[in-house]
Chains A and B, each alone.
Chain A
Amino acid sequence: MIEGYLHQVVTDDPGGESPGATLERLKGSFPAGATRRMTTLGLLVGSALEKLGPGERDAIVYATGYAESRALESFIDSFPAASPTLFQTSIHPSAVQQLMIGRQRPVQELQPLSGGPLLSFHALRACLVAPCARVLLCGGEERGTWLLEHGLASDRTFAFAASLTREPRTGALAVLRLSRRRGEGALGLAAFFDHLHGRTPLDAMVAPGWHLYLEWR
């Protein structure tokens, strides 16, 4: 069994908000001019992560199944005159890099994960085996357009960031425990986000052979 503690939890559930409206809502979170080339996912994840004050000695674990769906769409549609800016922006860890490069803020570890029904388990396991004093778990998805028509993007936009320690500290918001147990289960990223957003507890199998207990205090 491995255990961790959540201290700060930031969530953003914009529902059907348009990318333009998201930009207007969040641009004040970033330096002037920095948002010109930021993606919707970069704005959402960056805004949430920034509230945790990421530092050089933190480890950042970033979970997103489909990552930069709209930048991918636009990059592919830019061929045959491929856009170098969209190429850079479309890579999997881009949302975190958009914030951290904009702030010129190095970080020891960045662990970007993708996945499907087991993504939340894999991200939590990555957090709980990281040897850093503080791990910042962040993630999210952005709603795609033509990718969504093929089932290759999220149908929902959301983002979150949470700070996690292995040691108990005063004021922890929640405790989480991963333990081996017989049985099957899964916990996709959107479902995990809903537990963070609603501060709802969890006592369930989240992967074959793995159980997650999440208790809010």
Chain B
Amino acid sequence: MADSLSPVRVAACGCITPFGEAAATHAALLRGECALKAVPVLGRDGGDAVPLALLPGRTLDETVPPGWLAAVTRLGASIPEGDWGSPEMPVFVTGSNFGIGSLYALRRSGDASFAAWSSPPGCTELLRVALGWGPDVSILSHACVSAHLGLLQATRVIEAGLADEALVLSFDFLSPFVAGGFHSLKILNAEFPAPYRERDSGAIGLGDGAGFAVLSRGRGDWRLAGQSLYNEMNHFTSNRADASGFAHCLEGVVLAAKGRKVWFKGHGTGTLDAGRLEVAAASRAFPGAPIVGWKGSLGHTLGSCGLVELAIAIESAKSALAPGTVGGPGRPMSEAVATGNFGTAAFDGVVCASNAFGGAHAAFLLCND
């Protein structure tokens, strides 16, 4: 039986991206490969070509059942067996879009068969049945920090003694709704992203992604310390210019990382202002820490990014080699930005950070002691 005072740990973790599962994705990033391709922003309805990283064989236009279901089912098969969805082993499903591609298709086509997948509760219920879970499945949706919220909720429920283990599943798959939305904000455009690099204008890419983590008090090699949230509430799509939101969120992680040598896996979408603020805040909080971001290759996997990139960070720690920042050309925003791969053996932790609309921030320290 687990010691009630022992920390909650990550007992298993995995992800899928256009490169494959976590090890394949890590290997592709080490090779500097880019999964982004120029795709019409509205799928079959055309529009500007923008950088999107879609799962192999998947198009932006939704089907019934959704084109992403097979990939999530494959990911589900890699989740350790358990009585998931029972009171003792609850599930936390997180994302920012759920079946929004189905909703878009429903309205555009008038085909009512899209309806069942079109809302967060409906989509999650069908997924629950497909993956064979019991009914205790919470749904959290806070844009691009959603995965962090799931990890935090799961940790708290276990720490409170309300569950033995918990499963967090996060997914986000692209659609004309999502691509069109970011395109309307002009940050998804014809340019490919170059995270943490100076250039004339910012640009992001978007990507398909899903990840899972099993949290347990009794087993696991990895620990999430200093889990932290902060919401600036300054603007819907931009941050406070003084970077105070980044600093507030990192305060708790700095405490958790005291005395450790860490590297920093940032959010790094490719927007200029947010990139500069994040690099500055990370450098102040963790002097000397190499900063990396992988969305220049994978695209921004939105609500799932916190879990997808956690799985890659774990692969990096396991193999003692972290991929550098992948993306287009430009001068790095700071000497701290790691543009090449680097060994992680000399480090004893990685800070994983994500940001979202509304000036939302989330971060934690991943360590294996």
Residues of A whose CB lies within 8 Å of any CB of B are: 2, 65-67, 72, 75-77, 79-80, 82-84, 87-89, 91-93, 97, 100-101, 103-116, 118-119, 122, 125-126, 128-131, 146, 150-152, 180, 207-210
With both chains docked as a complex, state the minimum distance between the C-beta of B363 and any C-beta of chain A, in angstroms.
Answer: 13
Binds A, one of B30-38, B133-141, B256-264, B327-335: B133-141
A-side contacts of B143, CB under 8 Å: 91-93
- The distance in angstroms between the C-alpha atoms of A105 and B159, with both chains bound, is 30
A-side contacts of B121, CB under 8 Å: 65-66, 114-116, 119
A-B contact count (CB 8 A): 166
| B181 engages A75 (CB within 8 Å) | yes
Binds A, one of B13-21, B63-71, B111-119: B111-119
In the complex, 7 of the A-B residue pairs with CB atoms within 8 angstroms, ordered by the A residue number, are: A79-B108, A92-B141, A100-B233, A101-B235, A107-B233, A150-B106, A209-B87
| A76 engages B162 (CB within 8 Å) | no
Interface size on B, residues (CB 8 A): 61
Binds A, one of B189-197, B201-209, B210-218, B224-232: B224-232
Binds A, one of B74-82, B149-157, B285-293, B312-320: B149-157
- List B residues 93-129 near A (Cβ within 8 Å): 96, 103-104, 106-108, 112, 115, 118-122, 124-125
| B112 engages A109 (CB within 8 Å) | no
13 further interface pairs, Cβ-Cβ under 8 Å (given A107-B233, A129-B156) = A83-B184, A84-B181, A93-B142, A106-B230, A107-B231, A111-B142, A113-B139, A114-B124, A125-B138, A131-B156, A151-B115, A208-B86, A209-B87
Taking chain B's interface residues, is the majority helix, strand, or loop, or is none over half, making it mixed? mixed
| A108 engages B230 (CB within 8 Å) | yes
| A111 engages B233 (CB within 8 Å) | no
A-side contacts of B42, CB under 8 Å: 79-80
| A129 engages B122 (CB within 8 Å) | no
Residues of B whose CB lies within 8 Å of any CB of A are: 42, 45, 47, 86-87, 96, 103-104, 106-108, 112, 115, 118-122, 124-125, 134-143, 149, 153, 156-157, 159-160, 162, 176-177, 180-186, 229-237, 245, 248, 357-360
| B236 engages A97 (CB within 8 Å) | yes
* A93 in complex: contacting residue of B104, B118, B119, B358, CB < 8 Å: B358
Given contacts A93-B358, A101-B236, A101-B358, contact A66 B138 (CB under 8 A): no
| A104 engages B153 (CB within 8 Å) | no
* A114 in complex: contacting residue of B136, B139, B182, CB < 8 Å: B139
| A112 engages B181 (CB within 8 Å) | no
Closest B residue to A151 by beta carbon equals: B115
A-side contacts of B156, CB under 8 Å: 129-131
